Amino acid sequence: MESNKIPFHEIDFLLPVHRFAIEFSYVTKRRLPFIREFALRLIHLAPMAPESLARYLDLSSRELKEVLRDLVDKDELTYCDDGLIDLTPRARGYFVDEGDSPQVTSIETKNITLSFELAGFNCIRTNFVRDGWHAGISVPVSSEKRGLSDKYASKGFQAQFYYLLELGYMPDISPRDAETLPSIYKMDAVTRVGQGNKRLPHTFFFDDFGNLVEREDLDTFKYDEPVFDAITRTINNFHQINNLPDVADAMQAVGDDVTGEFISSSGIDVSSLIREIARSREHESKLQLMLGPIYQEGNWQYIKSRLSSELKQLKEHHQDGVKELTWLAPSDSFWGKSDRYTAVKSWLEESAMTTGNNPKRLFKPKFYFPNS
């Protein structure tokens, strides 16, 4: 029987990203205009008289002369000694097999700006952040990858070229109805033009027995293993001793005599704790137990609904003085490392006052957060 996955923490890992201006040349094959294509296809089957070509394509004498002159000027048509017209070696190179449509090969140049994360050099969309390393944990990468990021990005672009075409990064050089795909001819220049961070939210889970559930693979990237490994190393760098007894003591110090019942030096009785959380919410107990930080989605949705109800009462009725709302946060390396924390803090600050011409203070938020 499969165990439940019970969320207990949410952490955003911030992956360094460099942005590059990329100039490259590519080989492409394109179809020819209708008359030109079918003239070449007919002559490709066998040399023919100009009059026969005119009959097949329903061309007037003037139109025939224009078509023949155009093909000769393009070095695609030649006159034989017997007066027939035939394809030049250049034009025959347009065909793979008899009856195929001719396709002209050309070398084009393209400029594009793309972003690559620096752990596995996966190309990412442009929605990375430039807000520094706030509310998240930085994922370190080697100085070599940072210093030579343009070289790594060049290799990454070439390796992911067809994947990027499939995702629609360069629709102008490979329309969806194209019969053949372009190929890279030469990398001309890769220049770094910016940097930022890619935010990767991670939810961590317990099973019913309080054991950590193995993290799932990342679906965000084509080459996810280097990124997964970099995040694993980052987590291991923050490895802490078992402080569960200290947590129980701290909760008791702030008037919580219940949480400690579910904590021992060997772990957390998750199943019993979840049942107690459900019971306390059903009965709207004064003491509400929670698993994980306040800003975790499930916890915050419950708290927000309770707060919204209280705030409605405060708006409608007079109150003597302004009450304080205190948020006491733990000293934990992983605490507050999520965009959800920022969103919750902002909501509390904005909700403390009413809006309008005569704003009213509903409560005074007091935050006691760790320094790091």
Compare 143 and 245 and report the one with higher pLDDT: 143
How far is Cα 332 from Cα 256, in angstroms, rounded to an integer? Answer: 19
Q: What integer pLDDT is reported at residue 338 of this predicted model?
A: 93
Q: What integer pLDDT is reported at residue 127 of this predicted model?
A: 56
191 pLDDT higher than 90:
yes
Centre a 10 Å sphere on the Cβ of residue 287 and count the other Cβ atoms it contains.
10
Please compute Rg for the chain using Cα positions.
34
In terms of Cα–Cα distance, which of 109, 89, 76 is closest to 189?
Answer: 109
> What is the average pLDDT across 1-24?
88
Could you read off the pLDDT of 266-275 as tens digits, one per residue?
Answer: 788 898 999 9
Q: What integer pLDDT is reported at residue 66 of this predicted model?
A: 93
Q: Which of 21-30, 214-223, 336-345 has the lowest mean pLDDT?
A: 214-223
pTM: 0.78
Q: What is the pLDDT confidence band of residue 1, given thresholds at 50, 70 and 90?
A: very low
The tokens describing 314, both together, are: 């405060």
Cβ–Cβ under 8 Å, residues 160 and 122: yes
The tokens describing 141, both together, are: 């990468």
Could you read off the pLDDT of 212-242 as tens digits, one per residue?
Answer: 888 877 767 888 899 999 999 998 887 767 7
The tokens describing 178, both together, are: 């194209």
Compare 80 and 134 and report the one with higher pLDDT: 80
Length of the chain: 372
**Which structural domains are found in the chain, ordered by start?**
12-25+107-200+231-237 (no CATH), 33-101 (1.10.10.10), 241-291 (no CATH), 300-372 (no CATH)
Residues 6+ apart with CB under 8 A from 163: 222
